[in-house]
A and B are shown apart, each in its own frame.
Chain A
């Protein structure tokens, strides 16, 4: 179950995923039965798929980052802080550097720094990894608020340069898929590309094997001569860099190119859920991220198309979907055996 998702599991995932979505839609329908055509119109529209992918990208990047850390045995719930600091850094750096790429790289660097802090607390100081994450989340909130106030005190809105949608010669002009899949900016494609790349690195390279062994049996790995601490540090740093990039995705993938206090608003936690929902597997995680993106996009469109459900309940929808998916998919799901426990030489 740890390598490529088996055919049966894949089929199950798609089946259950579809079931959940259908259930949700049925619930909504039960509320206002006259809105059938509107809802159908929403779900099959290519713009819906496009919006879902845009919403899923930050989650995907953060979750992939979280995966790397967790496979090495370090619980990383600080994805929210990495995303938020990455977003602030991406915004500021793109603005000052006049290019979204500067923002992307700076966001990765900022996320890496948070990863360093998390690694220091969790690995060297052996703190409780959840408490460390909560503290870092609070830190990110305060630091970005202070930074935003200091750097953008004038109150005049500044739009940072963002990633432009790419036009691919033949593919972008396709009738349905052109809008749904081929009108995105490069960051979204990079994120999707990262899924097979991550899978390859984790399961087909020796470094990936080292990483996973450290997460499963650190003592055994250590007796094989692997420096557990060093591998974990590297993993968490890398995790931070990738999760930091999710902040850049948040700022520019949605084309808003702006920042506000607490921009991430809990998306990092959804990404954390995606890691578990995806059973610590890059392919599964991508399904999870897309599912949540679909929920997010659906909720907003249900409002825009005038479905008569109170909007506060619609706002709950992505979280409800996540919860239901979690309960459905969590049976027999096991993470890395040594996850969450500090490693000491005594064992």
Chain B
């Protein structure tokens, strides 16, 4: 990646691009391949035909228009959360609270979406989405503030807030925003028709959320690469000491990074509810926030590659359904293959492996070509303000 201090802002750096693509896509893709092979071995051991299974996987993910739209629909929240996590990561912060932030966003979306049934649709959609954006951001801001002003470890507070968010939703949908009619499981009131996202392809569940996610992807890319904010964020993430000397308020950047990271996750929550679920139920997205960490990792914390990674993960999820239904694989085996892919990517994107892979190409070993900036996690040594 081009060094932000070398005045390359705005210039199109071809060499850096190819290095970026290779490093960000090449190694992780290869490692995913390794995982697929290991998965095939496991299938054989358990008595399944890997070719049939993977064929079903492909068909289920990308086989026809309906399946593709299912995959894209599944990719939307993964992409949004993944972008949020990537943004925070670039700032040297780690946001494990995407689950809670997503739940907070969904809660805000269903509340604002359920009230005001007579509002004109574009306004209602915009308002509900904005509410989710803010709610998710605040849910992330709280632990960040606690960290900055009282030194409380933000890793733990975000995880705790995940659980608190889940139980808060459980409480709200059984109480204050309970649906009026009888339902067999705790369900919230429905989102008004005027607040539901329009569908992109008729007769499918693919909805406006995808466009929001793609827009976020582009915006994040532009911000990180071509704006001062983006550069500040990266400097704080890569070298907090230099940042301080450059007069950048790391605290402010940290808070901002967390806020936007959370608000993107909040958007993910809104997208699920306003996009097709229209009711908030218990446990509507228990794993998306954690899966998004893997998506961000796989995507090298770079917006467009995160987009590819989200597509890949979504394809796995959607295709897994077909794998089970058609090739009769048990759900747990499919889950295992996904996890193997994550572990493989973790290994492939580790500084050591990247170093080894690039040794012959570089003069200076401590600047591996296109690895994500190794952040200094502000975990154990809280700054006393």
Binding site for B on A (CB under 8 A): 70, 75, 77, 121, 124-132, 134-135, 137-139, 141-143, 145-146, 148-150, 266, 269, 272-273, 276, 310, 312-313, 315-316, 319-320, 322-323, 326-327, 330-337, 339-342, 346
Contact = CB atoms under 8 A, between A and B. Distances in A.
Contacts of B379: 75, 130, 335, 339-340
A230 B85 CA distance: 33
Contacts of B374: 128
B150 A127 contact: no
B232 to A, nearest CB: 22
Given A138-B290, A339-B379, A339-B381, 16 more contacts: A121-B346, A121-B350, A128-B374, A131-B346, A135-B339, A146-B330, A276-B153, A316-B163, A316-B167, A323-B161, A327-B157, A330-B151, A331-B151, A334-B380, A336-B380, A340-B377
B332 A337 contact: no
B121 interface: no
Nearest to A138: B339
Contacts of A266: 159, 163
A319 B164 contact: yes
The interface size bin for chain B is 35 or more
Given A130-B155, A142-B339, A269-B156, A340 B380 contact: yes
Contact residues of A: prevailing secondary structure: helix
Contacts of B244: none
Contacts of A316: 163-164, 167-168
Nearest to A265: B163
Given A330-B153, A337-B381, A142 B335 contact: yes
Interface of B: 46, 94, 96, 146, 150-153, 155-157, 159-161, 163-164, 167-168, 170-171, 174-175, 290-291, 293-294, 297, 330, 332-333, 335-336, 338-339, 342-343, 346-347, 349-353, 366, 374-377, 379-382, 384
Contacts of A129: 377
Contacts of A333: 151, 382
B167 to A, nearest CB: 5
A260 to B, nearest CB: 13
A323 B160 contact: yes
A332 B346 CA distance: 33
A134 B96 contact: yes
Contacts of A135: 294, 297, 339, 342-343, 346
